[in-house]
Structure 1
Amino acid sequence: MSDPIETVILDLLGPLAPGKSISPEEAARAADPEGWRRTMPKVRAVAIGMARDGRLVITRHGKPADPNRFKGVYRLRLPLEGDAPPAG
């Protein structure tokens, strides 16, 4: 059974054009409109897990980031053909 946050992330990314991304805030707001700020750490944790599994890419400044070491503002997108496998 997948995590509800994972489902929200994939539902938001699914209809987007390849290479397009979402902010973690978008996922948190979709998962919990009233308490989205409290949901942000869960979105980050789920995104890191998905990125480590190669099912998601975390980007910083438009470039793939190491899911084990990134800091600051980030976005989420689906992997593209030719993306390097996740570090770690």
Structure 2
Amino acid sequence: MTASESDLEDRIRALLDARADSASICPSDVARAVAPDDWRPLMEPVRAAARRLVEAGEVEITQKGDVVDPASAQGPIRIRRARTG
């Protein structure tokens, strides 16, 4: 299954909408929701979708609870709604 960029962005939004405002999701949550049997190839496209949503001001990427620069983030990340204040 091939997911478009907008499909992945929409799935990130939908998964975040289904959780508490303070919750975060893992990119694998998104990949598994799109392609349960073959989700691993979607990991980098999901991370790219998250980076686009960061640029749009919709989400933040975190590591160990701290917001990180999505361009330099390596290793496990989480995606959460952008927080103000």
Same fold per superposition (TM over 0.5): yes
Matched, 1:66 2:69: yes
Quote the Cα distance in structure 2 between the aligned partners of 1:51 and 1:67. Answer: 8
Segments of structure 2 that go 5 or more residues without pairing to the other structure are none
Segments of structure 1 that go 5 or more residues without pairing to the other structure are 83-88
TM-score, length basis structure 2: 0.88
TM-score, length basis structure 1: 0.85
- 4+ aligned runs moved over 6 Å, structure 1: none
Q: Give aligned pairs, total.
A: 81
Matched, 1:17 2:20: yes
The percent identity for this pair of structures is 36
Name the structure 1 match of 2:37: 34
Quote the Cα distance in structure 2 between the aligned partners of 1:63 and 1:52. Answer: 17
